[in-house]
Chains A and B, each alone.
Chain A
Amino acid sequence: MRYRKAPILEAALEFRWQPERPLDAIRASAGLPAFSDFEAPKERKLVNATLDLQGGEISHESREVGFELALKDGSQVCILEADKFVFVQRAPYDQWQTFSQRALSLLEPVALSLNVHEFSRVGVRFVNRIDIPQDSSANVNTDDYITVSFNGPRTDRDVVHEFQMRVVKPTLKDGISYALVVATSGSLLPGHSSIILDIDVFTDGPAPASGAAFEKLLSEMRDEKNDIFHSCLKKPAVALFGGVEE
């Protein structure tokens, strides 16, 4: 099942490992044939800045930590660092099977070349934005669209102007937790307001890097992600997704 106007802005699969691999090995991985349809790898750097509060001077240092590869049209991005591989699919998102197969087809040769047999963390993150049409005279009541709401100590007057919440919590599945961000946001579309639903499902501990157990884990994480997503939504929100297509 997929929505005609799926609200997914970005879908990411992240696989971390320990210990960190040397940068030369990461560079070699970025040059694997699996990445031949991507643009040339670009360096990624970690920047640390230090401000001397008394002297008023700023110093900074940066170090190379990996590489980023993107398709020419920007629709897919891979990040390869000493301790992780990330595959990002930007909107439009098609479906899980296409997305996960593509990610795994890129991950497998990387894991092989870096001799990774176990992941220290696996993450499945979907960032959604629900665009809600707004009459010029009326406010959007987020309670009409999502099940997450503000329940603060006071009611005071008028409506909530901005809302942002992040919660991290274990699921009922052993070893799988999630981080959920719910936030209001402006919209690029005139006459719309938006709600962000950022769902990050991840493993608390080590996970197999291949085989049936790995596939089962990914499938469970996807199910958890979907369940969290639908648990957050009310019918008027789902109605904005343009129905379901085969």
Chain B
Amino acid sequence: MTYIDTGALGQRTRAGDGRSSFAHSVVDGFRRMISIGQAGYLVIEDDCTRSEGTPRERRLEEIQLVISSISMHLPKGFAVGLNGQFANMMAEDAWEDNDVFPSILSLKAFLLMLISTHATQRPGIGTNGRGSITAVWRNGENRLTIDCLPSGNTRWVLTRVNANGEVERAAAECQPHRLSEVLNAYGPEVWFGQ
């Protein structure tokens, strides 16, 4: 291998910024330059400047980035739609100041739940105010609510009108990858689509 140090050729095309960028967090982690400056001083220049933002805005960015990064495993249009829903829910005029932000573990449980259930209908979203992400599907009298918890588990409750017109209620807690099997007894296609 022949090697020449070409200096400026080593510059990168900047991708998205800071914590809000997948390229930065995964690929460019070694981009921070550390050099010995004047004798006895260590100069650290962080070339990845980031925009200012409140903790709420930064968490929203993180959430949107995670959703974006697995968009290829979700039905078409889900990622953009969900990111818009989170933006609405976490907007300054909507978010309750005392509520705990949705945790990244809750978000992972939420996304695993979507993948495991093969939902083709996007849920409404909310939170319990203690770091969860709540997903809800409604079809007439039939309602399914799945609270994705910071523990990584899900807590779900449903109201389902069966073929005889009787109202059935069920609830439990389980891991997200089990949901498809657990909900199968209740004809979940009424919520998730075919």
Contacts and interface: CB of A to CB of B under 8 A. Distances in A.
Interface of A: 5-7, 9-10, 12-14, 42-54, 65-68, 70, 72-75, 77, 79, 84, 86, 88, 90-92, 121, 123-125, 127, 129, 131, 168, 177, 179, 181, 183, 185, 188-190, 196, 198, 200, 202, 204, 242
B125 interface: no
B98 interface: no
Contacts of B16: 10, 12, 77, 88, 90
B177 interface: yes
6 contacts: A12-B16, A43-B51, A46-B46, A75-B80, A91-B79, A121-B11
Contacts of A127: 15, 22-23, 27
A189 B14 CA distance: 27
Interface of B: 6, 9-17, 20-23, 26-27, 37, 40-47, 49-53, 60-61, 64-66, 68-73, 76, 79-80, 83-84, 87, 108, 111-112, 115, 177
Contact of B44 (A13, A48, A131): A48
Given A51-B44, A74-B65, A125 B15 contact: yes
Nearest to A63: B49
A198 B112 CA distance: 26
Contact of A190 (B20, B26, B112): B112
B41 A51 contact: yes
A202 B75 CA distance: 33
A86 B27 contact: no
A74 B73 contact: no
Given A68-B51, A91-B68, A53 B22 contact: no
A91 B72 contact: yes
Contacts, number: 167
A69 to B, nearest CB: 9
Contacts of B84: 72-73
A129 B6 contact: no
A39 to B, nearest CB: 9
A91 B72 CA distance: 8
B79 to A, nearest CB: 6
B36 to A, nearest CB: 9
**Considering the complex of A and B, which 8 residue pairs feature the smallest CB-CB distances, nearest first?**
A123-B13, A74-B64, A42-B51, A125-B13, A73-B83, A5-B72, A68-B51, A51-B42
B37 A50 contact: yes
A53 B46 contact: no
B87 A188 contact: no
Nearest to A191: B177
A10 B64 contact: no
B27 A188 contact: no
Contacts of B44: 48-51
Contacts of B87: 72-74
B64 A188 contact: no
Contacts of A48: 43-46
Contacts of A91: 68-69, 71-72, 79
Nearest to A64: B49
Contacts of B50: 44-45, 68
Contact of A52 (B17, B41, B45, B51): B41
Contacts of A202: 11, 13
